[in-house]
Amino acid sequence: MVSDKLAAYEPPKQDRSVLIYRRLPEEWAEILHEWVCKSRKHFLSFLESITPQLGA
């Protein structure tokens, strides 16, 4: 899975435990980009990216 970029070693410099991605980083980037474009935001803060949108 690590070689297919579906997981990453966590912490990095070992090979005993992995973090499995629910989505690829590229998929998350596309989702965030679409959201920013749709909501007409000029920038995206970390807080906005983790705060659920109420009533959306």
Of the pLDDT bands very low, low, confident and very high (cuts 50, 70, 90), residue 42 is low
- What is the tens place of the pLDDT at every residue in 4-39? 778 888 888 888 888 887 888 788 888 888 877 887
Residue 56 pLDDT greater than 60, yes or no: no
Counting every residue written for the chain, the total comes to: 56
Q: 3-class DSSP state for residue 7? A: strand
Instruction: Report the distance separating Cα 23 and Cα 28, nearest Å.
Output: 7
Q: Where are the alpha helices (DSSP H) in the chain?
A: 25-39, 46-50
Kindly state the tokens that stand for 15.
């090979």
What pTM does this model have?
0.43
Looking at the DSSP bridge assignments, the partners of residue 54 are none
Residue 40 pLDDT greater than 70, yes or no: yes
